[in-house]
Structure 1
């Protein structure tokens, strides 16, 4: 029988033709969930057909963790179906705290212990998760018969002739991405009751052997939950419904309603600020590509409508001079660290303004790396209010000398409420990544390859400097728009094709290109000039 060479960690091994990657992984890395064969992702059921370089993907990898999550969801959905049949309709909604929220429609008194027990049985039985390749029309019929109408609607807009479906005993589902070989791999998870559903918690990639107890984020949950309900009311809770509205000529109406809903939310925040007589500093923070700048401009307009005089300001003006900037563990300048800010000078100036004194506000010259003073004097009168934007604005260490009642803190993020279908969610980070890629190319001359390579580092900075403080905000604002990914498609798809196959970022680019296949595109002509989306695609009425 023919043998092939398999290179693993710079060592060469021989295996006979047809050996499953599952068997090779068992010998070398039992924690492998997927493999990379000559740089291409493969599931473990695939067979050896030639000489290859082989890498193992585990829970420590982002792709591995996503695979683990999808597989855990499949087991959970089958468990619910086994116990309750069609009386419960689970909807995989969004991440909340350190878990994933799944709403259970149709039954309020479900037994969480019974569902957990059935999941444990399925895991202990180590059942194969089988992949089936069927004609798209066959898949549509199967989804209809199974009562999975969102998937049926989704696949009516797919142009591919065949589709992959996963089967776990008698349970079928479509999944956006790869799955593990068998249920026995999913041996670490917690499910717990929460609101009108449950939360699934799996290990973080930094600690793959540990499942932490659920740590809820009530404010973020409420914002996401309200956004989901709003999307349902608009009839665009999932991609199939969005495509249907586009196909039926309702695009402009959908854009106008989405933008009106967002404007109302901004108006509500402005109303709340005005009610608090002592507020002089509105402090806005959020992760990358949340639309902070456009939001601050639109909030300022709402405040002006109330008779106030807002003054936009960026905390970045209070960066320390380049020679005083701290460095990270790699020896590189760490601009995201709080220590990169001149906290004392910021507090000194803000206190002076609160006390009615005139202050010269600095600006930071990013080319020279120096703070400059160019005659920008400011004095706060009765109706004046500062609208301050910066990644550390929710951290009390930045404004530790300022009275609490003088500050109004806002957390902003693009919390994507749209899902692919009832069982496949769109991570909120994907929406922000798409926005950032467009802006990086358009305004900064940064390639999508570079943006993708930096994204993990950007997210680590957010985990350290922004997310721990989000619950301290007085208001939370969701800047995601129901229709935006259909617009972004026209901008992102072409540039993703520039990512070369031999780059480490190619697999992620390929995943995003496949993701866009679900969407019908929308031209940007009818996107309002004051839309947060304009901050990224261009054509904004504001200087952003």
Structure 2
């Protein structure tokens, strides 16, 4: 007997046979899509089922509340960008079947790609790939989601030479896997894809760097156009440096990382990671000394980049060079929440520069530059917050360097009138260079979210759901107030450690599992992160050195017992 399931779409109730695909629900039952929807129509491209995101090929088997996901939405943009990457992989297999395409890092409004080995991309190669992609878009091919056995999937990736995917799957034992097929191309993805290639309408593929290319997509602020290209050479240089580190460590994808986590090599690998980071911090301290006129070092970066521990470790290196560093957190200049500026929703906005008592900070800095002794404020973050003083004034001596960290450290409005030659600016962020496999990248934002979930639960008793619900506000603040000033920095540093995801996994997984389907905004992200973490081989936290930057998030740091920074 056919099993009937009940679906609820607002006030509308729908009865369909169990196993009905999402595509049929959207087109036949909800009548929300034409047979050939166009990009500009902002079509429905997926379905929320009890808050889980399903592609058109997925089957429904239980009673559920359903809601359409449209292209021009936060969830839609992720699906679009993921499909765009899938399409480039398909085009590459058609045009250059003997080459191994590798997705790299995000750079502005695009993803950086290279070919492995001896293949350096030239302008003609990029034109051929763009032409093949456009032909796939014009053909408006369906993208099918299907289930295959584990053995068949492994055989397919081995035959295709997708060694990174094969290696990753060696740490999975699922009886079946979900793959996406388009024409003769089949690949694994870890997020839903668009239903048709014709929807991948707006993009740009351009040569970039000395041997790569940039696959650009529309920004959330304008889904209908590609923005004017703005280069970020400083950020790109950091990724290139970390690619070299990856080659030194012999780890560029998660499968290789898993192999090391499951062996005795992990001890040496962790030490090499930490020593490379120590070395880079020492190099930055040398740069400060060589400038010769520095009185203030500003450290800025997005949430969960590790600013606090980095400031401490940089101060240690400066001490070795004969300086007397004094650390200051801009967080101590916050106004009480009841005096904070309000965001568009009428809530206190702690991400804007005006959330700080700028007048007090600028006066303190001016007085220090004038040789006066200054008692600097401290801020208690409990309840509405309050400012207090410890009665320990400081002053700038010949060998004193102020090390000031905070999310607004690179904003020129922070220090108007201060001689630029007396400042040194550092941008720090967690920029993971690991990929899941050749065609699926690990988002640096996801890495930072995991860090923050773990740290906030430990230091503030904040639930994973609360962290995920406030993250969009954090991202908006970063986009408006941090990222625009990246290139004001004298130097950038990557705080990500190659082994940190295996350490974060045992902390993050149980916290993410507390996020239930009724958590409308948080649940899709929690499910996505849990699905990603399934691929990670865990390692115990006691392997992490006590002076590691990672300790800022998992606890046990020799530098501080708690971190309340943003």
Same fold per TM (> 0.5)? yes
Separation of aligned partners in 2, 1:18 and 1:426: 32
Cross-structure match for 1:28: 32
Q: Is the CA contact 2:332–2:379 (under 8 Å) kept in the aligned structure 1?
A: yes
Q: Is the CA contact 2:105–2:239 (under 8 Å) kept in the aligned structure 1?
A: yes
Deviation at 1:47, TM superposition (A): 5.4
- Provide the secondary structure at the position in 2 that maps to 1:435: helix
- Greater shift after overlay, 506-515 or 49-58? 49-58
TM-score, structure 2 length as denominator?
0.91
1:91 to 97, 102, 107: 102
Flag the 1:363–1:437 CA change in 2: closer, same or farther, 3 A: same
Q: Is the CA contact 1:98–1:215 (under 8 Å) kept in the aligned structure 2?
A: no
Q: Is the CA contact 1:228–1:418 (under 8 Å) kept in the aligned structure 2?
A: no
Separation of aligned partners in 2, 1:67 and 1:123: 16
Q: Deviations over 1:262-301 (max 9, x none)?
A: 0011001000001111110000111111111000000000
> Does 2:504 correspond to 1:516?
no
Separation of aligned partners in 1, 2:18 and 2:510: 39
- Greater shift after overlay, 240-249 or 426-435? 240-249
Deviation at 1:344, TM superposition (A): 2.4
Q: Is the CA contact 2:7–2:65 (under 8 Å) kept in the aligned structure 1?
A: yes
Superposed CA RMSD in Å reads 2.2
Q: Deviations over 1:421-457 (max 9, x none)?
A: 1111000011111111111111101111111111111
Deviation at 1:252, TM superposition (A): 0.5
Flag the 1:17–1:301 CA change in 2: closer, same or farther, 3 A: closer
Flag the 1:253–1:332 CA change in 2: closer, same or farther, 3 A: same
Mapping 1:67-466, distance limit 5 Å: 67-86=79-98, 88-105=99-116, 106-109=119-122, 110-195=124-209, 196-321=211-336, 324-367=339-382, 369-466=385-482
Q: Deviations over 1:12-36 (max 9, x none)?
A: 5677887653355353255111111
Q: Is the CA contact 2:52–2:523 (under 8 Å) kept in the aligned structure 1?
A: no
Separation of aligned partners in 2, 1:498 and 1:2: 31
Cross-structure match for 2:517: 501
Q: Is the CA contact 1:322–1:370 (under 8 Å) kept in the aligned structure 2?
A: no
Task: Give the gaps of 5 or more residues in structure 2.
Answer: 38-42
Cross-structure match for 2:66: 54
Deviation at 1:131, TM superposition (A): 2.5
Q: Is the CA contact 2:114–2:120 (under 8 Å) kept in the aligned structure 1?
A: no
Q: Is the CA contact 2:190–2:531 (under 8 Å) kept in the aligned structure 1?
A: no
Deviation at 1:355, TM superposition (A): 2.3
Deviation at 1:48, TM superposition (A): 6.3
Separation of aligned partners in 1, 2:456 and 2:353: 24
Deviation at 1:466, TM superposition (A): 0.7
- Provide the secondary structure at the position in 2 that maps to 1:360: coil
Deviation at 1:4, TM superposition (A): 7.5
Separation of aligned partners in 1, 2:21 and 2:199: 17
Flag the 1:162–1:307 CA change in 2: closer, same or farther, 3 A: same
Separation of aligned partners in 2, 1:255 and 1:445: 29
Deviation at 1:398, TM superposition (A): 0.6
Separation of aligned partners in 2, 1:360 and 1:50: 63
Separation of aligned partners in 1, 2:528 and 2:457: 19
1:538 to 538, 543, 555: 555
Separation of aligned partners in 2, 1:492 and 1:324: 34
Deviation at 1:126, TM superposition (A): 1.1
Separation of aligned partners in 1, 2:270 and 2:60: 50
Separation of aligned partners in 2, 1:413 and 1:490: 23
TM-score, structure 1 length as denominator?
0.95
Separation of aligned partners in 2, 1:521 and 1:327: 41
- Greater shift after overlay, 516-525 or 42-51? 42-51
Deviation at 1:61, TM superposition (A): 3.2
Flag the 1:377–1:124 CA change in 2: closer, same or farther, 3 A: same
Q: Deviations over 1:329-372 (max 9, x none)?
A: 22222222211222222222212212222122122233464433
Deviation at 1:533, TM superposition (A): 0.5
Separation of aligned partners in 2, 1:513 and 1:289: 19
Q: Is the CA contact 1:58–1:65 (under 8 Å) kept in the aligned structure 2?
A: no
Q: Deviations over 1:114-136 (max 9, x none)?
A: 22121111111111222232222
Separation of aligned partners in 2, 1:176 and 1:78: 16
Task: Give the gaps of 5 or more residues in structure 1.
Answer: none
Separation of aligned partners in 1, 2:62 and 2:395: 73
Flag the 1:159–1:401 CA change in 2: closer, same or farther, 3 A: same
Mapping 1:459-498, distance limit 5 Å: 459-498=475-514
Separation of aligned partners in 2, 1:48 and 1:388: 53
- Provide the secondary structure at the position in 1 that maps to 2:226: coil
Flag the 1:404–1:119 CA change in 2: closer, same or farther, 3 A: same
Separation of aligned partners in 1, 2:212 and 2:335: 47
Separation of aligned partners in 2, 1:18 and 1:166: 18
Separation of aligned partners in 2, 1:379 and 1:48: 67
Separation of aligned partners in 1, 2:517 and 2:362: 49
